[in-house]
Structure 1
Amino acid sequence: MRNCFLSIWGIIDPIYYFFSRLTVIDKEKQSVFRVRLTRYKGAQIILSDGTKIKKNDVLVKIHLHNIKLMRELRTIESAVRKGMIIYQKVYISMPLLVDYISKHKKRDDIKGIIGITMLHKGVERLGFEVVKPSNHFYRFFKKVTHLPILYLTSKQFNAQSIPNSYYLLISKEKLQQKYQKRG
């Protein structure tokens, strides 16, 4: 059943990619990120470096390329090993994200990076800050939309114990300080 669902997702993913206005950040497709610019709509957040994220600020919204990751990880049994591989792939993608932003025509308007995920353990080492979305409806909506990912990646899927989704945020300046290639 999971393989069938994964195959269907593989067919639907390019359609989703097209309609969601996502962009691949590197030509070699080494990154696990697909991104788009967005305007932040939540409550004000002050990051640890003092950056204020306010309503309508321009952010780069990152999406993990889930189907790509699931195909690469499907033979790995250990959840810990899967987590380590995802962490490494995100770490490798961070400098590519810096390059993408530095070349973007709206680079001066971009205030930071945002993602929303159930996978938030250890992201502080990558420079992200974890923030719970304040809107209850949005949190419920994200739980529902993350169900297919949870179903495909969990051996013991339980709809009653769906983890909460959190924002992952990092300011553009912190991202550049941590990941910009020095040359």
Structure 2
Amino acid sequence: MSKLVWFLLVILLVYTILPTLIVRLGGFGVYTKGKRANGIALTFDDGPDPDYTPQLLDLLAAYQVKATFFVLGSKAEKYPELIMRMHKEGHLIGIHNYVHWANALMTPMKVKKQLSDSVKAIENIIGEKPIYYRPPWGIINIFDLILLKQFHMVLWSLMVGDWRSSGGKNRIRNELLSKLSNNDIILLHDSGQTFGADQNAPIFMLEALSEFLEECKRREYIFLRIDSKMKLDGPRKQEPLQLLKKTIVYFWLKWEMLFYWLFNVRPLDPNYQIFYIRLCKYHGSTIYLENDEKLSDGDLVVELHFNNEKLFQMISQSSTSVQLAVNLIRDVQRFLPTLTQYLKLHQEVRGIYGITMIHRGSKQMGFTVKELPKGMLRMLSHIYLRFLMFIFHPQGRKRLMKGQLSPRIVAISASEVIRRYPADSSSPSL
């Protein structure tokens, strides 16, 4: 498998698979099921639909049940009278994106626009901003965690595959009744127009729901809107993002062990493990260095990789960003004389090369700092390194939001490292 394929798999893992698994399995930062409040929450996705949503509203009105609708902004604009009817009849309206696209397939800015367009569409109709959000298919990307300050993210605890017509109403009704507990959040769909759904599936959902509500009435179950249910359950944990970060760091460091083994990335000195290294050929445009040397395509280089486990330890032990920067520079300066020893044993190496967001002070240490050329590598490196900064750096989120951090190429010739950082010296000659 090529390095590009592995890199794409890493990006996919970090960007969406790992965050989605942690949120879905661990429930970090999202509401998936009531814990203290008895009461069933009926929720409906993918609408409004001009054929099925009116029938659903009639059914809910007949049983005096209040539900929560996670609507698509584009459909809200197309059928404003249905949104207004939901609102007037006491149902809660949330967002399910502007169109039914998975967040994994969109950039953070695209997701943000989907939500802002949906908020605007719904607010223009009912005069209130929706604050409850369910991402399509329950799939998120890592940057969606920032949305937790603006929206209450709501998933579900009971799903019965009502987007399929197979089995008809009996399958849906039987699954609802057999799996139900009195504090579930039930996911149903009042439209069959999304990818993977049968167009006539809502017919069977409505038939099954009618019989389900009749049985629930007999059992004297209570139905609640999501906002009422969450209020009765009490406030959300205040720091879900920090807990999520620690979990992601743990799994990420385990993944890095596998990555290092696959690509033969290893520590150079057990005493100064701020960097791991990989001996490889440089591939890319010529880099002209500060000392009139250059790195050309095909040159043998030492590729530097930050030891993120060490970096995370330093962050945890540093009380301020200034202290972190000082400790980081000190460790780099301790590492470079050891690198000189390695270069003297590998005289065929032309230079040292890396891509990083932590490049402040690199020029003073003799490195050339350059922007990445436009292209796939730049885009993927940008996503990957911004994720790491967001997770590892104490002010990563704030600095990313301000645009203060962006990936750069840092490079230095082997001869310059040997000249500046003699192996028999404990301090570098700056």
Whether the TM-score (by the shorter chain) exceeds 0.5 is yes
Distance in 1 (CA, whole Å) between partners of 2:256 and 2:369 is 27
Distance 1:43 1:4, change over 3 A: same
Once superposed, which parts of structure 1, at least 4 consecutive aligned residues long, lie more than 3 Å away?
A: 158-162
Distance 2:404 2:257 in 1: 26
SS in 1 for 2:347: coil
Deviations 1:104-151 (CA, angstroms, capped at 9, x unpaired): xxx232100001101111111221110112233211111111133212
Relative to its length, the structure with more helix (as a share) is 2
Q: Is the 8 A contact 1:31 1:90 kept in 2?
A: no
Give the number of the structure with larger relative contact order, counting CA–CA contacts within 8 Å between residues 6 or more apart. Answer: 1
Whether contact under 8 Å (1:42, 1:133) holds in the other structure is no
Match of 1:34 among 245, 270, 276: 276
Question: Which of 103, 121, 144 pairs up with 2:383?
Answer: 144
CA contact (8 A) 1:143 1:162 kept: no
8 A contact 2:281–2:298 mirrored in 1: yes
Contact 2:369 2:411 in 1 (8 A): yes
Paired residue for 2:258? Answer: 15
Using the aligned pairs only, state the percent identity. 21
Q: What's the counterpart of residue 322 of structure 2?
A: 80
TM-score (norm 1): 0.88
User: Is 1:101 equivalent to 2:343 in the alignment?
Assistant: yes
- TM-score w.r.t. the length of structure 2 is 0.39
Question: Secondary structure in 1 aligned to 2:350?
Answer: strand
| Structure 2: gaps (5+ residues) | 1-243, 426-430
Q: Secondary structure at the match of 2:264?
A: coil
CA distance in 2, matches of 1:60, 1:114: 6
CA distance, structure 2, for counterparts of residue 169 and residue 156 of structure 1: 24
Q: State the alpha-carbon separation in 2 of the partners of residues 68 and 42 from structure 1.
A: 29
1:156 positional shift: 5.7
Q: Give the partner amino acid of 1:128.
A: F
Is residue 57–residue 111 contact of structure 1 (8 Å, CA) maintained in 2? yes
Distance 1:62 1:7 in 2: 22
Q: Which has the higher strand share?
A: 1
Letter in 2 for 1:102: K
Hey, what does 1:64 align to over in structure 2?
Answer: 306
State the aligned residue count: 179
5+ residue gaps in structure 1? none
Residue deviations 1:65-118, cap 9 Å, x none?
012211232142422221111111111100111112222xxx232100001101
Instruction: Please tell me whether residue 130 in structure 1 is matched to residue 369 in structure 2.
Output: yes
